[in-house]
Amino acid sequence: MLLLTREGWTIEVEPSTWSEILLFLTKCGWKPSAPVHHLLANDFTMTGDIAQSLAAAGQIVLDETMKDPLAAYSVIKFDMGKFAEIVDFASEGEFIISRKV
């Protein structure tokens, strides 16, 4: 299990879900300022600019999903509830990615 953490707020996410989200966003054109494989590393600090860009890209996906949910769900293979939670979390800025011990 991965933990996305900032002071006062932690989200648990399966490593496979996190990987699927990152891969999907990059396929949709998201270009983080750090290599994507760094975002899979233990104890990586997701800087504010990367977090904000992830949130912006994620919000576009959420908006498009609302326009045609059936088409979106045929392409998106991860939990959209968890995705929305992560997008909201990332919109608040910097956080740390770590493995739950």
Query: What is the C-alpha to C-alpha distance for residues 45 and 51, in angstroms, rounded to an integer?
Result: 10
Q: Which residue's entry shows tokens 């002071």?
A: 7
What's the confidence (pLDDT) of residue 70? 83
Specify the pairing of strand 2-6 against strand 9-13.
Answer: antiparallel
33-91 tens-digit pLDDT: 998 988 988 889 999 999 999 999 999 999 999 898 888 888 888 999 999 999 999 99
Query: What is the C-alpha to C-alpha distance for residues 27 and 11, in angstroms, rounded to an integer?
Result: 24
Q: Helix (H, G, I), strand (E, B), or coil: what is residue 41?
A: coil
Inform me whether the pLDDT recorded for 16 exceeds 90. yes
Q: Kindly report the three-state secondary structure assignment for every residue of 8-25.
A: CEEEEECHHHHHHHHHHH
Label residue 92 by pLDDT band (50, 70, 90). Answer: very high
